[in-house]
Amino acid sequence: MWPFGRQGYDPIPEGNSWDCLRHHGLPWTRLRWLLSAFLAVSITVVVVVIPSLLRDEVEELALHPAHYVLVTEQTPADLVSHYDFYSGPDTNGSAGFQDYVSQDVAASMGLYRQDERAVALRTEWANEALLNDPAKAFPALIGALAQQKPVSVRLEGTTLYNSGLFVLDVEHMPVGCGMWPAIWLTNEDLWPMDGEIDIIEGVNNQNEAKTALHTTANCTMADVTRTSMTGEWDTALGVPDPFTGEPSPVPVTAKNCYIYAKDQWLNQGCVAVDREGKNFGPSLNEQGGGLFILEWNPEGNSPRGSGPSGQSRMQGGFIRSWAFVPAHDAPATLREKIAKKEPLTPDLWPKPYGYFKLDGRTKKASEATGCSSAHFKDMHLVINIAVCGLVAGQRFQMDCPNEYAKHHQEGDSVIETCERYVREEPSSLLDAEWRIRSIRVYSKNNIRAHPR
């Protein structure tokens, strides 16, 4: 018990707090004066000081947002000059059913063409008619025909990036059961150590835009708040238990970017989904396309300048993504600045549907508490169309139940059923085409990328 009765202590009399104060020599008039002064100061703080501080903060943010300047503009006239055509089977990371062909083969088959409006890239079947034309009898087509596989295109960018703002103007994207189109950033030679960022990726007939990250261990978005973005995290449902093999009935939020994350699908990554509107797949094509934008800012902005050691006071970096479908849904000022090739300022746009927090201060990916910026480096743009494979094929029964029921044979896996459907339904490739109006790459503070 506290020694209130020790010598020399004047105990507080019983009664209310005012009695207590008056007992210790504060008259009522003085109490009223102190109370009035306190209320006056409080009102001043609420009415004047706090709004002033908030106004200063807003003005400071407006004065120090991230400005991006245009460094590369890929138009229909020169888009493919920024890429190499990869030729050969698909990589193990996607294991698609198709073979990729060179630029010469693609041009001869009509898989690549351009006009003033857009560049078209598509997937098609090799057929006997092509082989009967000596000018088109490429070995790659002979192999694809023998294996009854479609042929496709995969463009790999010739420039490596470590940050940037990527603005994709897409008129049409491949759709249909078995389709797996994507425009993404990666470094195949050092995957997944150098990471992967999927700017546009969808499978089958999905109608929602998604952005996904794929990394090595120690990259999670568990700390990202719900108010940081308008979209939601994708889920993993039915993942087999590693011991029993039984599919899990409990959906797991896909916020772990690690390709081998427990309780998520293999290489699912962390995936942000735009739930606000039908802005992808068939819906995108019906609306004449749209703008897809990704901001990769590994160190973040610095609205308050730098600290004593020159270190940014902002807490790390981020990756953000927007989808404006149709394209005229983008803010008018944004469309105007793109047309005039003026700098872009994402901080002034609507809230993104995807937000991925990066720990820009941590240099080693293994030391990150959330996800280090070191997980993503030296990546180039890739544009491709895969068929079935580890994602579109794995989801075939879920996304295309009627087609699955019609073409499934006893003993076939879900992926094999997807491949059988594509072989037995030639019309499945009718809408397997990208039409890209432009790709623009912007850099913060005019820091340029470097060649591969």
Is the omega angle on the peptide bond into residue 249 within 30 degrees of 0, that is, cis?
no
H runs (alpha helix) in 259-368: 281-286, 332-340
150-152/99-100 β-pairing: parallel
CA torsion sign for 301, 307, 309, 314 is: negative
Q: Which two tokens stand for residue 311?
A: 């270190």
Given this model, what pLDDT does residue 426 score? 83
Task: Quote the tokens at residue 445.
Answer: 């503070």
pLDDT of residue 305: 38
- C-alpha 194/C-alpha 397 separation (Å) is 32
Q: How far apart are CA 439 and CA 447, in angstroms?
A: 18
Nearest to 219 by CA among 165, 298, 293: 298
Is residue 160 within 8 A of residue 404, CB to CB? The reply is no
Which pLDDT belongs to residue 24? 46
- Do 389 and 203 meet the contact criterion of CB atoms below 8 Å apart? no
With tokens 């294996």, the residue in question is 147
Which two structure tokens, joined as six digits, stand for 343? 């700098």
- Measured over the CA atoms of residue 451, residue 218, residue 94 and residue 357, the dihedral's sign is negative
Q: Are residues 198 and 211 in contact, defined by beta-carbon separation less than 8 angstroms?
A: yes
User: Contact 388/423 with Cβ under 8 angstroms?
Assistant: no
CA distance 440 to 428: 31
CA gap 199, 209 in Å, rounded: 9
pLDDT at 44: 55
CB atoms within 10 A of CB 207: 15
Q: What stretch of H or E contains 179?
A: strand 179-186
Q: How far apart are CA 177 and CA 399, in angstroms?
A: 8
User: E strand or H helix at 161, and its extent?
Assistant: none
CB distance 170 to 349 below 8 Å: no
pLDDT in tens, the chain (452 residues): 433 333 343 443 444 444 444 444 445 466 565 566 666 555 554 454 444 443 443 343 344 577 999 999 999 999 999 999 999 999 888 899 999 999 988 998 899 999 999 999 999 987 654 545 555 545 555 556 556 789 999 999 999 999 999 999 999 999 999 999 999 999 999 999 999 999 999 999 999 999 999 999 999 999 999 999 999 999 988 787 778 878 888 889 999 999 999 889 888 999 999 988 789 999 999 999 999 999 999 988 754 333 332 333 345 799 999 999 999 999 999 999 999 999 999 999 999 999 999 986 555 666 666 999 999 999 999 999 999 999 999 899 999 999 999 999 999 999 999 999 999 998 899 999 999 999 999 998 655 567 77
Residue 103, exposed/middle/buried by CB under 10 A (0-12, 13-18, 19+)?
middle
